[in-house]
A and B are shown apart, each in its own frame.
Chain A
Amino acid sequence: SQTIHQWPATLVQPVGSPLSLECTVEGTSNPNLYWYRQAAGRGLQLLFYSVGIGQISSEVPQNLSASRPQDRQFILSSKKLLLSDSGFYLCACTPGTSGRSEQFFGPGTRLTVL
């Protein structure tokens, strides 16, 4: 079965600083990968998804970007953080063999921008 790792688990950053959140997947190949953000007391919002290496689709225009340098690695970045970037960031995957019908989540990163 697949395992999703995210780091760091918690991050406090000043406004205007850069950001790099990393997600790696074990136990499956050719997964679809996703970044979601969960604001306090709200549901999950899809930020980016990737169906293959180097293929990134953005759902919400903002100052964040994503990259997929390897099949099972997904990175969320920002050059300059905003206060509104605070939230809980979840990486998820649909395994390549599941028919894309199941999605599994990592433990998340709690980001606070001050």
Chain B
Amino acid sequence: AQTVTQSQPEMSVQEAETVTLSCTYDTSESDYYLFWYKQPPSRQMILVIRQEAYKQQNATENRFSVNFQKAAKSFSLKISDSQLGDAAMYFCAYIFSNSGYALNFGKGTSLLVTP
């Protein structure tokens, strides 16, 4: 079975500091996509960053970057210079190629940003 595990239900970071959210996954596929989504209190799901498994280079989007370790099946998200607006639920997700490319989500990490 393909699973996504986020082992940190809650994390806290001080404004302007850096925080890393962990994610591991299990798959037998060799080519796939991984995502981090942000869900603020409005509950709108917002794509933060995407990683293609065939790319060795880690994806970056402004203050957000990932540490993708394919052999270890690890996909962590680093948020630099944290801002109050970063407070949200963060979901790691893996795309199923055999379920119409649906997403398989972890249970999420709630990120609190303190002033």
Contacts and interface: CB of A to CB of B under 8 A. Distances in A.
**A and B from one complex:** yes
Interface of A: 32, 34, 36, 38, 42-46, 49-51, 57, 59, 88, 90, 92, 94, 100-105, 107-108, 110
Q: Which among A38, A103, A104 has the highest number of chain B CB atoms within 10 Å?
A: A103
A90 B45 CA distance: 9
Contact of B103 (A44, A88, A110): A44
Contacts of A42: 107-108
A80 to B, nearest CB: 26
Interface residues of B, number: 21
A46 B103 contact: yes
B100 interface: yes
Given A42-B107, A94-B101, A105 B52 contact: no
Most buried by B among A44, A57, A108: A44
B99 A59 contact: yes
Contacts of B44: 105, 107-108
Given A32-B101, A46-B99, A49-B99, A104 B47 contact: yes
Given A42-B107, A108-B43, A101 B100 contact: no
Contact of A102 (B50, B91, B102, B108): B50
B30 to A, nearest CB: 15
Contacts of B108: 42-43
Interface of B: 33, 35, 42-45, 47, 50, 52, 91, 95, 99-108
B95 A51 contact: no
A103 B103 contact: yes
Contacts of B43: 38, 88, 107-108, 110
A103 to B, nearest CB: 6
Nearest to A57: B100
Contacts of B95: 100-101, 103
Nearest to A105: B45
B33 A101 contact: yes
Given A103-B103, A110-B43, 14 more contacts: A34-B103, A36-B103, A42-B108, A44-B105, A46-B102, A49-B100, A88-B43, A92-B103, A101-B50, A103-B95, A105-B45, A107-B43, A108-B43, A108-B44
